[in-house]
Amino acid sequence: MTLAVEVTASGGAARVTTVTTARGSFTTPCFMPVGTRGTVKSLAAPDLEALGAEVVLANALHLALRPGAATVAALGGIHRFSGWSGHLLTDSGGFQVFSLRPEVDDDGVTFRSIYDGTPTRLTPEGVVELQGTLGSDLAMVLDECPPLPSPPEVVRAAVERTVAWAGRSRRAPRREGQALLGIVQGGTDLALRAECATRTVELGFDGYAIGGLSVGEPRPAMLEALAATLEHLPADRPRYLMGVGDPVGLVEAIALGVDLFDCVLPTRLARHGHVLTGEGRLALRNARFAADDGPLDAACGCPTCARWSRGFLRHLLLVDEPTGPRLLSVHNLAWVLDLIGRTRAAIAGGRLTALRNEVAASHR
Provide the annotated active-site residues. 91, 262
User: Amino acid identity of 3?
Assistant: L
First-to-last C-alpha distance (Å) of the chain = 40
Q: What is the DSSP letter of 204?
A: -
Of residues 242, 231, 151, 163, the one with CA closest to residue 188: 151
The 3-state DSSP class for residue 64 equals helix
37 contacts 256 by C-beta, under 8 angstroms: no
Rounded Cα distance between 49 and 45, Å, is 6
Give the helix ranges, DSSP H, for 122-240: 124-134, 152-171, 190-201, 219-230
Q: What is the DSSP letter of 83?
A: T
User: Amino acid identity of 162?
Assistant: T
* Bridge partners for 59 per DSSP: 91
139 contacts 205 by C-beta, under 8 angstroms: no
17 contacts 258 by C-beta, under 8 angstroms: no
**Where is 48: in which H helix or E strand?**
helix 45-51
Rounded Cα distance between 275 and 177, Å, is 38
